[in-house]
Amino acid sequence: MAKKSNTLSNFAIESAFGLSSGRMFNHHSGEPIKVQLKGLLGTQSQFTKDEKKIEQSMNKPNPQKVEIAMLDQNEDTLRVTFTWKIIRDIERMNITMSSVPEMYTILRQLHEAYKEQNGYQVLAERYAAQIVKGEPLFRNRYGLGIGVTVKSSLGREYHFDNRQPGNDFEAFVEDVKRGLEGEIVVFDIDMTSKIGKGQQVFPSQEMEMNSGKNAVSRVLDKDLQGNAMMHPWKLGNAIRTIDTWYPEYDQHGFAIAVEPYGANIRRFTAFRTGSASYYSRQKEVLQYLDSGKKQGVVEILDGKPIDEIRDIHYFMAMLCRGGVLGTEGKNQ
pLDDT digits (tens, 9 = 90+) for 89-117: 766 667 776 566 667 777 888 888 888 88
Q: How many CB atoms lie within 10 A of CB 101?
A: 9
- How many alpha carbons fall within 13 Å on the CB side of residue 61? 5
* Measured distance CA(21)–CA(236) in Å, rounded: 10
Is the whole model's pTM more than 0.75, yes or no?
yes
Coil vs helix vs strand at 36? strand
pLDDT at 7: 60
CA distances from 254 to 98, 188, 233, 240, 297 (A): 37, 28, 20, 13, 32
- The packing angle between helices 232-239 and 119-132, to 10°, is 120
- Asked if the structure places residue 48 within a domain, the reply is no
Largest CA distance in the chain: 77
* Measured distance CA(79)–CA(22) in Å, rounded: 10
* Measured distance CA(197)–CA(78) in Å, rounded: 10
* Measured distance CA(318)–CA(278) in Å, rounded: 8
pLDDT at 292: 42
207's CB contacts (< 8 A; 6+ apart) are none
pLDDT at 332: 36
- Asked if the structure places residue 32 within a domain, the reply is no
Q: How many domains does the chain have?
A: 1
User: Is it the case that residue 193 has pLDDT exceeding 90?
Assistant: yes
- Asked if the structure places residue 43 within a domain, the reply is no
Task: Show contacts of 206-215: CB within 8 Å, 24+ apart.
Answer: 214/65, 215/65
- Asked if the structure places residue 63 within a domain, the reply is no
Give percent helix, percent strand, percent coil of the chain, each to the nearest 5.
Answer: 30, 25, 45
- In 3D space, the residue among 266, 236, 262 whose CA is nearest the CA of residue 249 turns out to be 262
Percent of the chain with pLDDT over 90: 52
Model confidence over 135-186: pLDDT tens digits?
999 999 998 899 999 999 999 999 999 777 778 999 999 999 999 999 999 9
- In 3D space, the residue among 258, 256, 280, 275 whose CA is nearest the CA of residue 266 turns out to be 256
Q: What is the CA radius of gyration of the chain?
A: 24
On whether the CB atoms of residues 232 and 216 are closer than 8 A, the answer is no
pLDDT at 4: 47
On whether the CB atoms of residues 189 and 57 are closer than 8 A, the answer is no
- Asked if the structure places residue 153 within a domain, the reply is yes
- Domain hosting 174: range is 11-25+75-324
On whether the CB atoms of residues 137 and 79 are closer than 8 A, the answer is no
On whether the CB atoms of residues 99 and 9 are closer than 8 A, the answer is yes
- Asked if the structure places residue 169 within a domain, the reply is yes
- Asked if the structure places residue 80 within a domain, the reply is yes
What order do you get walking across the sheet with 323-324 strand by strand? 95-97, 11-13, 323-324
- Asked if the structure places residue 18 within a domain, the reply is yes
- In 3D space, the residue among 32, 35, 33, 26 whose CA is nearest the CA of residue 76 turns out to be 26
